[in-house]
Structures are given as C-alpha cells and as structure tokens.
Amino acid sequence: MYLEEYRKARQAGLKEAKRSQNRGCSPYLPVLDDILAVETTCGEVDLGLVDIPIELIVGTRSAGRSQAFSHTFLPLMEEDSEFCHKWTCLCKAHMDSGITDPIKAYEYMHTFYVVEGHKRVSVLRWFGAVSIPAEVTRILPAKDGSKASKIYYEYVDFYNLSKINNLWFSGTDRFARLQEAVGKAPGEVWTEEERRKFYSFYSRFSSLYGDKDAKELSTRLTVADAMLLYLEFFGYDQVKTFSQTDLKDGFLQLHKAFSVKKSQGLNPLKGLLSR
C-alpha cells in the first residue's frame, strides 16, 4: 500500500522533472545557497515554531538534497533505495497517526527552503496538506529601494503584528490597507481570536478564488489583492460572516459594479492596482 503511494508519487515526479527539462528549466528543487550567493542580505531573525503554508515551501537550503525531488517535492529516487524506504515509513506514519514533528526551514522573500524534513514535506504535500509546523529562520534581504524589497518589508511589518504568513500582494501599501480594512489601527497587534477568524474567512475566500467567476475580476490579481478589493467593497464586518454562497454572490456584485465603470470608460481596478 505505502510502496504503491511512493510509486505513484515518483511517477508524477519523473513526469514533472521531464516537463521542466523540456522547458529548459532545472528539474530539481531550487537551492537557497545558490540564490544567496548572488544576493545581498542584512541579517537573520529567529521566528521560532510556526505553521507555514506548504505551497510556499519552494526549495532546499543546500544542494545535497536537491536532486532527490522534483521542483514540487515529488520523490525521484529508485524504489530499492533507502530514500524510498524512509518515504514509505513516513507515509505509513502519516496515514496511521499523522506527521507532527516540525521541520527546520529558512524563509527568504516570503518563500521557504527546507533544512531538515524534506521527506516530511514531500509526503504531506503528496497527500494535500495545507501547512506544516516548522522552526523558521528569516533571512532579511537588503533594502535596495526596489518594489519587491518594499513589498517584502511591508509584509515583515504586517507579520510582526498579525503573525499571518500566507498573504502576498502585488503592489505596495496593501498590507497597511488590509490592517485598516479589518478594523485595526496602524501598529495594533492582532489577538489570537482575530487571527483565527481571519484565517477562516481567508481560507473560504481563497478556495472560491479559483472559480471562473472570481477569475473574471482580473488575471492580474493575487488572491490577497482580490481579497483586499473584496473587503474594501463590502466591509470586513459583513464579509467575515458570509457563507460560501454569499461570497460567490459578492463576486457577481463586483462584476456588475466593474461593468458599470468600464461602460463609463473608467478602470475599475485603478484604486487597487495603480500603486
């Protein structure tokens, strides 16, 4: 049973690696050490034990484990390898009682790179887990005045207040606008209850955003961009109690409002995307 899961995961990994090679890309995990070799950094911060979104785990700290996985952590090693044996044991542990041991990872520019626990990430990702506990060290990039640097440090400020790490905006000033949109003053720390309620809303919103009706708003929006637009249109006090049907109906109302602006020759996304 567990070996069969490995076979399926490895077959998917080999196909993914081949597709990457055909596109002229590396078939293996990105290596943070290679990235940092050409980047300027300005220190590290110990974030302690936090839950991190698995979709934001994109690579490995050093090259040693890189070629054992495809770029989405699917296994590539042969079935008669020690790697396969350990992967299937973790598969059994996950299916019997769940994997709870935290991994160790570095965060750089809002993405995570594994130091210890690569196979745990691989197994949990294969079974569709959303997050994993991790001991995280943040590597701070240089403040070089670029748009990416500005957005990142706005994220760091927001994280220090909210401890929310699964949001990313495509423009500046939006983390501060989100703080305001949820009714928090600048610099006000979030309570655990506020964080829990926001996660509940965001999870329901992000699950809907893949829907065709939501995508019609704009292909230029990240999920967080669309969420902020939605909150500023309806108000957080109202939408945090929305059902999935209410959320979907809200997208239809936005479409109508956007259609009116377009008919008037206006850019309906100007308030959000012009920054």
Strands 131-141 and 103-108: parallel
Range 1-142 classified under CATH 3.90.1530.10 = yes
The predicted-structure confidence for 27-79, as pLDDT tens digits, reads as follows: 999 999 999 999 999 999 999 999 999 999 999 999 988 999 999 999 999 99
| Proportion of the chain above pLDDT 70, given as a percent | 89
Helix (H, G, I), strand (E, B) or coil at 157: helix
Domain boundaries, the chain: 1-142, 144-275
What is the pTM assigned to this prediction? 0.89
With a CB cutoff of 8 Å and minimum separation 6, the contacts of 96 are: none
- Measure CA 41 to chain center: 22
- Whether 212 shows a pLDDT value over 70: the answer reads no
pLDDT for the residue 252: 80
- Whether 272 shows a pLDDT value over 50: the answer reads no
pLDDT for the residue 218: 54
pLDDT for the residue 151: 96
Nearest to 9 by CA among 76, 67, 66, 65: 76
Strands 111-116 and 103-108: antiparallel
- Whether 260 shows a pLDDT value over 80: the answer reads no
Helix (H, G, I), strand (E, B) or coil at 56: helix
Number of H helices, E strands in the chain: 12, 5
pLDDT for the residue 215: 53
With a CB cutoff of 8 Å and minimum separation 6, the contacts of 221 are: 170, 229, 269, 272, 273
pLDDT for the residue 65: 85
pLDDT for the residue 226: 84
